[in-house]
Chain A
Amino acid sequence: MSHTASDLGARHRGSAIARNRLPKWTPLAIAAGAVVVGIGIGAGAGLDSHVQWGLIALILFVAGNYVVTRVADGPRQAKDRVATSLVYACFILAIIPLYSLIETTIAKGVKVLDGNFLGHSMSGVLGTQPGGGVYHAIIGTLEQVGIATVIAVPIGVFTAIYLVEYGKGALAKAITFFVDVMTGIPSIVAGLFILSFWILILGFGFSGFAGALALTILMMPIIVRSTEEMLKLVPNELREASYALGVPKWRTIVSIVVPTSIGGIITGVVLAIARIAGETAPVLLLVFGSQVINNDPFEGPQSSLPFYIYEQYNLGNPAAYDRAWAAALVLIILVMILNLIARGIARWKAPKTSGR
Chain B
Amino acid sequence: MAKRIDVSGLSAFYGGFRAIDDISMTVEPRTVTAFIGPSGCGKSTFLRTLNRMHEVTPGGRVEGKVLLDDENLYGSGVDPVSVRRTVGMVFQRPNPFPTMSIYDNVAAGLRLNGRRRKSELDAIVEKSLTGANLWNEVKDRLNKPGAGLSGGQQQRLCIARAIAVEPDVLLMDEPCSALDPISTLAIEDLIGELKERFTIVIVTHNMQQAARVSDRTAFFNLAAVGKPGKLIEIDETERIFSNPSVQATEDYISGRFG
Complex contact B148–A352 (CB within 8 A): yes
Q: Does residue A94 face the partner (Cβ distance < 8 Å to B)? A: no
Cβ of A180 under 8 Å from chain B? no
Q: With A244-B51, A244-B88 in contact, is A355–B144 under 8 Å at CB?
A: yes
CA distance A354 to B89 in the complex (A): 26
Contact of A247 among B83, B109, B144, B162 (CB under 8 A): B109
Bound Cα distance A294, B93 (Å): 58
Q: Which chain B residues in 119-164 approach chain A with CB under 8 Å?
A: 144-145, 147-150, 158, 161-162
Knowing A238-B95, A244-B51, A260-B98 touch, does A356 contact B158 (C-beta < 8 A)? no
B89 touches A244 (CB 8 A): yes
Which of A4-12, A56-64, A251-259, A270-278 has 4 or more CB atoms under 8 Å from chain B?
A251-259
Give the residues in chain B near A184, CB-CB below 8 Å.
Answer: none
Asked whether any CB of chain B lies closer than 8 Å to the CB of A241, the reply is yes
State whether A354 touches B148 (Cβ < 8 A): yes
Neighbouring A residues of B254 by C-beta, 8 Å: none
Assuming the contacts A241-B91, A247-B109, asked whether A356 and B149 have C-beta atoms less than 8 A apart, the reply is yes
A237 CB–B CB distance under 8 Å: yes
Interface presence of B76 (CB below 8 A): no
- Is A351 touching B99 in the complex (CB atoms < 8 A)? yes
Interface Cβ pair total, 8 Å cutoff: 90
Whether A237 pairs with B95 at a CB distance below 8 angstroms is yes
Q: Is residue B227 within 8 Å, beta carbon to beta carbon, of the partner chain?
A: no
State which of A239, A246, A354 has its C-beta within 8 Å of the C-beta of B81: A246
Q: Please measure, in the bound complex, the distance between the C-alpha atom of A260 and the C-alpha atom of B98, giving whole angstroms.
A: 7
A246 to B158, CA, bound (A): 14
B53: chain A residues within 8 A (beta carbon) = 240, 243-244
Q: A245 on the interface (CB 8 Å rule)?
A: yes
8 A Cβ contacts from A321-356 to B = 349, 351-356
Instruction: Say which size band chain A's interface belongs to.
Output: 20 to 34
B247: Cβ under 8 A from any A Cβ: no
Does B108 sit within 8 A of A, measured CB to CB? yes
Most buried by B among A243, A246, A353: A246
A23 contacts the other chain (CB 8 A): no
0/1 interface trace, chain B 69-86, chain A, CB 8 Å (1 if under) = 000000000000111111
Q: Which of A235, A245, A260 meets B165, CB within 8 Å? A: A245
Q: Closest CB of chain A to B210's CB: distance in Å?
A: 22
Tell me, rounded to whole Å, the shortest Cβ–Cβ distance linking A350 to chain B.
8
Chain A residues near B (Cβ < 8 Å): 168, 235, 237-248, 251-252, 255-256, 259-260, 349, 351-356
CB pairs A–B below 8 angstroms (18 shown): A237-B93, A238-B97, A240-B56, A240-B95, A243-B56, A244-B53, A244-B88, A245-B161, A246-B81, A246-B83, A246-B113, A247-B81, A247-B108, A252-B112, A255-B108, A260-B98, A354-B148, A355-B145
Those 5 A-B pairs whose CB atoms lie nearest each other, nearest first: A246-B85, A351-B98, A245-B109, A244-B89, A352-B145
